[in-house]
A = this chain, B = another copy of it.
Amino acid sequence: MNRRPAAVAFDVNETLFSLDRLARELPDGVLDIWFARVLRDGFALAATGRFRPFRELAATHLRSFIDGAEAERVLGLFGVLEPHGDVRPALERLRDAGVPAVTLTNGHAETTRSMLAASGLADLVADCLSVDDAGLWKPRPEPYHHAARTLGVEPGRLGMVAVHSWDVHGAACAGLVTGYCRRLEGRFVEGFTRPDVTGDTLGGVVEGLLALPA
């Protein structure tokens, strides 16, 4: 049975921050197919042990829908995305419990820092980590293990919280404690390693993680 985590990492895009602002700037339906293709190709690279930065894949695929100057403008909006309403209560609950919260994204740490600062959430996050530091995208095990090493905890004492089934699966395969929030997908995708904790909001997931046996 998995134990109460000593620190909790949160995925960033769609888990903490809404992509609605991007969706509104794009033709109907483009956000979903664009983002699915970026992840598809990032994971294809991960499956072959290769790496390209998120922004490069995001730009390449966005330019198949809109022209280059417009794509640059839309990509610039990543830094000012709005947090979901359940983020602040979840982060405050962890702070009150004395459990550090960090971010771990397939995007870039600097972009995450911008989003947190613009949303007044920076004080609630101990560190912003990115797969850039591991040179391989989630759901490969390396970035999860890199995060655990950076935090000085065993993988089995690090929680990973995401709204993406593939991220929960990757973290579970890497030995982390996992929390899945149903907000985006509605239900966990069959075929992936199931989460230790599931909730409708990030707050519910955090409560579940904190309730695990110490």
Contacts and interface: CB of A to CB of B under 8 A. Distances in A.
- Number of identical monomers bound together in the oligomeric complex: 2
B29 A170 contact: no
How many A residues are at the interface, by size bracket? 35 or more
A61 B189 CA distance: 8
A49 B47 CA distance: 8
Contacts of A96: none
A60 interface: yes
Label chain A's interface by main secondary structure: helix
24 contacts: A29-B29, A29-B33, A33-B33, A33-B36, A36-B36, A41-B165, A41-B189, A43-B43, A44-B139, A45-B169, A46-B47, A47-B139, A48-B139, A48-B140, A48-B169, A48-B170, A48-B173, A50-B169, A50-B173, A52-B191, A56-B190, A56-B191, A60-B191, A64-B185
